[in-house]
Amino acid sequence: MSHPRYDVVVPTTGRESLAAMLPALAAGDGPLPDRVLLVDDRRDRSAVLTRPRHLGALAGRISVLEGPARGPAAARNAGWRAARAEWVAFLDDDVIPPPGWRAGLAADLEELGPAVAASQGRIRVPLPRHRRPTDWERNVGGLQEARWATADMAYRREALAAVGGFDERFPRAYREDSDLALRVLDAGYEIRSGRRCVLHPVGRAPAGVSLAKQAGNADDVLMRALHGRDWRRRAGVPAGRRPRHLATAAAGVLAAAGAARGSRAVAAPAAAAWLAGTAELAWARIAPGPRTPREMATMAWTSLLMPFAAAGWWLRGLVELRSRLRRPAPRPRPEAILFDRDGTLIADVPYNGDPELVEPMPGAAAALHRVRAAGLRIGVVSNQSGIARGLLTREQADAVFLRTDALLGPLGPVEMCPHGPDDACDCRKPAPGLVLRAAARLGVPPARCAVVGDIGADVEAARRAGARGVLVPTPRTRPEEIAAAAEVAPDLEGAVGLLLDGRPPREAAA
């Protein structure tokens, strides 16, 4: 019986837990992953990444990728873009897959139809039985109820490509998984819960970890901007304490300001409000815990600072929101790709009317095959001013297109401009007419089309039509055209990889 093929992606910053995670994945039964893609996301790679020596069935299946060191979203993108299996299973480097995890994953994936983009695994956090859990242990224990946590989450690779993968504007391990899932759901896919389970032990954490976690308030600002006021309801995220944190911090600031100005009438009630808010927070964290002297002391001093940390990160999120929104967002895969002809699909022979002179560009056949295999539509948009100049006839131009079609496979609708530069038509690139007409014939909105060409007029036509443009430079491409292009690929196969997989241009060129 055949099972769904899958790769496993594990981002890591070199935590010691990796040495237990990989052997656990290797043990047990069930189909093996095609590959385990270990994304080394350490900023300092001077030391060798420590890995266990005895990997059993996984020996020879582990590939180490150099991560971008820009946070877990970027690391996971590097991992799934290198994957080739139908499914990509994301695991964190601090989870322990039990012996039946691989078999459970296969069973979960086998049940899913084509409309289902993802399968969520269950997370079990072992909490102490002989005492009440600490505040940090309860925090980690919340993963058991978290929706779409990438500690164990399997996505179809095609679905990841369709929405552009993780949004790298989320720099922390916080909300990037919810953002991805909401975009996948908005794209019309489903997400199902599976029956498999991983263990997530509670690791060591510094006493001030609860203060560091307040940085997530800045990401909540971005979530609201991207997904609207009701994003918490849609993502199953509790309301949290931020309104109370803001009120307590405001009271503290007002009390300090009143005292500095000698205004007892302002300082006294504000100080009372701050003290009441701080005491309520501290008790809310102390009451369910073990109430040991150390835990109570930690809860007391961190509760003094927590409202200010939460408010500070929230305000920082508001201040930085505009700049974060200006950064590149995930680019969904287009529904159609329109190709320029001369210099892009076939070698540029000026004003060619002879089918015998048609020569495909290197990699053109493979690139087009990949586009067709992905189910995208194809079209051609081409300026042919030689007709207006009297250097070839429309029939000769058509014959060249037919020869191109015969060599490279079906090219879909062809939109050709026969006018010259001085004819003031609306179709000669960089005008958008050819792109708009091809999109209409394909039944695809221009915004869901991409245009691939070798000169600035190609990408400018795409921009004016509201489509996405990718430049593939050749020796005739001017340096200023390359500098002005939003996206540049080194060759046709790289351009197709960029559009299908969401791989950034710098990775496409690697």
Active site residue ranges: 340, 342
Six-digit token string for 152: 């164990």
Element (H, E) at 6: strand 6-12
Alpha helices (H) along 134-263: 135-141, 157-163, 176-186, 209-212, 216-227, 231-235, 242-260
Record the tokens describing residue 242, joined without a space. Answer: 């931020």
Q: Which residues are within 8 A (CB) of 186 and not within 5 positions of it... i.e. 6 or more apart? A: none
Longest dimension (CA), the chain: 94
Distance from CA of residue 330 to its chain's centroid?
6
Nearest to 235 by CA among 184, 181, 191, 159: 181
Question: Residue 508 carries which DSSP code?
Answer: H
Q: For residue 192, what are the CA distances in angstroms to 185, 199, 209? A: 11, 20, 32
Q: Can you say how many angstroms the Cα of residue 482 is from the centroid of all Cα atoms in its chain?
A: 26
Cα-based torsion angle of the residue sequence 97, 100, 101, 102 in order, rounded to the nearest 10 degrees = 120
Q: What is the DSSP string of 236-301?
A: T----SHHHHHHHHHHHHHHHHHHHTT-HHHHHHHHHHHHHHHHHHHHHHHTTS---HHHHHHHHH
Q: What is the CA radius of gyration of the chain?
A: 28
By CB atoms closer than 10 A (0-12, 13-18, 19+), residue 443 is exposed
The SS3 assignment for 330 reads coil
Six token digits for residue 331: 């680019």
From the CB of residue 419, how many other CB atoms can be counted at a distance below 10 Å?
19
Q: Cβ(19)–Cβ(52) under 8 Å? A: yes
- First vs last C-alpha separation in the chain: 38
